[in-house]
Every structure is written in C-alpha cells, then in structure tokens.
C-alpha cells in the first residue's frame, strides 16, 4: 500500500492458519484492487477504540 507520504510499503510476514483463513475470508467476493477492509474508515476505527 502507499503510506502517508506515498512511499510504497511492502513486507512479508508469517501468520498462523487462523489469521490466514480470516484474511482469505475477507477477500472472498472482492475484485482485485478493492480494499480488504473497505467498510472500515478512520472515524469508525477511532470510535471503536475509544470504547
């Protein structure tokens, strides 16, 4: 993804099967290029974190 300063960030990490399966499920039915968490925005995230 492009970070705040339009600097490309790319990283590979190892995750357990549970995390892999969850991300795989998030991607189901989405076309290439669509954000993985397309229903999440900073306002929603901040409101959730304030709880």
At 46 the pLDDT is 92
Total-model pTM: 0.52
pLDDT digit string, tens, across residues 14-44 = 999 999 999 999 899 899 888 888 888 889 9
Helix (H, G, I), strand (E, B) or coil at 17: helix
Token pair for residue 42? 């900073």
CB 29 within 8 A of CB 38: no
3-class secondary-structure state, position 8: strand
User: Among residues 43, 34, 46, which one has the least CA distance to residue 1?
Assistant: 34
């Amino acid at each position: 993804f492009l970070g705040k300063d339009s600097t490309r960030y790319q990283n590979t990490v190892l995750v357990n099967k549970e995390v892999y399966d969850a991300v795989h499920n998030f991607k189901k039915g989405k076309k290439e290029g669509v954000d993985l968490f397309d229903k999440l925005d900073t306002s929603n995230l901040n409101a959730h974190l304030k709880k």
